[in-house]
Amino acid sequence: MTTGVVRAALVQTNWTGDKESMIKAHEDYARDAAAQGAKVICFQELFYGPYFCQVQDAQFYEYAESIPGPTTERFQALAAELGMVMVLPMYEQEQEGVLYNTAAVIDADGRYLGKYRKNHIPQVKGFWEKFYFRPGNLGYPVFDTAVGRVGVYICYDRHFPEGWRALGLNGAQIVFNPSATSRGLSSYLWQLEQPASAVANEYFIGAINRVGVEELGDNDFYGQTYFVDPEGKFVGDVADTHNPELIVRDLDLSLLKTVRDRWQFYRDRRPDSYDRLVQP
């Protein structure tokens, strides 16, 4: 298990109007983070597009691409140049008509390590995701990277404690949760759920949320991106509620051993008593 301090970065931003300008903006964010010494960065959910799930329109299938594919390869080259681990949340097309909400993970030498597919897919007003995505089928992978063992959970996933625990059991030290979540719906949960999950599972969480009102609907994405440590404390300030922001924070991974020795949650689990949790 990696120990020591990892400098990590998160990006929250607004929709620029087209895919290429979004990609270029995120390349600039990555370079800025690297200039500040960051060794790992995660972008927001569906980072190069709008949050099109506010409507149900097949034209937005065009945002999907293979993973690995052109955008993955473009950021593989940048990751190798900057020596930075990257988590890239994208719209994935596995084949025609088979689409997922996915995050690719790239190591600091530019190697593609694999991907996580969002497991829990909402279908409620303003978040019509079942129109666009199949549920994930890759489980809860954790990736060995240059900065330690990294896991990914995506947006709506965060309401389901089982996946957080699965990532912990798989050895995660840092879990990134890229999101697109709306002020009127979930803001009362945003600074509650993920700190609680960091405590319960004893790892760092990077929680990312885009900002702004997009032309497709009324959802007001409220930012408030942050890192939280395994004691439930914010690492530095929480990001702005309205404006794009890059945050760079130092994560002391030695804290994981401290809290795990203190609480022994993994020792004291009772999976033999949890049968109902895995019943349909």
Of 45, 92, 202, 245, which is the active-site residue?
45
Q: Is the dihedral of CA 270, 120, 76, 42 positive or negative?
A: negative
Examine the residue annotation and report whether 155 is marked as an active-site residue of this protein: yes
The beta strands (E) that lie in the chain are given as 5-12, 40-42, 85-95, 98-106, 112-117, 123-124, 127-128, 142-145, 148-152, 174-179, 204-209, 211-213, 220-222, 226-228, 245-252
124: tokens are: 């409620």
Q: Burial level of 216, CB count in 10 A (0-12/13-18/19+)? A: middle
Nearest 10 degrees: CA dihedral of 161, 167, 172, 177? -60
Could you give the maximum distance between any two Cα atoms of the chain, in Å? 52
Task: Name the DSSP class of 239.
Answer: P
CA distance 112 to 108: 10
CA distance 222 to 73: 30
Examine the residue annotation and report whether 125 is marked as an active-site residue of this protein: no
Of 53, 118, 214, 245, which is the active-site residue?
118
End-to-end CA distance of the chain: 35
Instruction: Name, in order, each residue with C-beta under 8 angstroms of 65's C-beta and a sequence gap of 6 or more.
Output: 71, 90, 91, 92, 93
Of 39, 155, 214, 245, which is the active-site residue?
155
CA distance 182 to 155: 11
Return the active site residues. 45, 118, 155
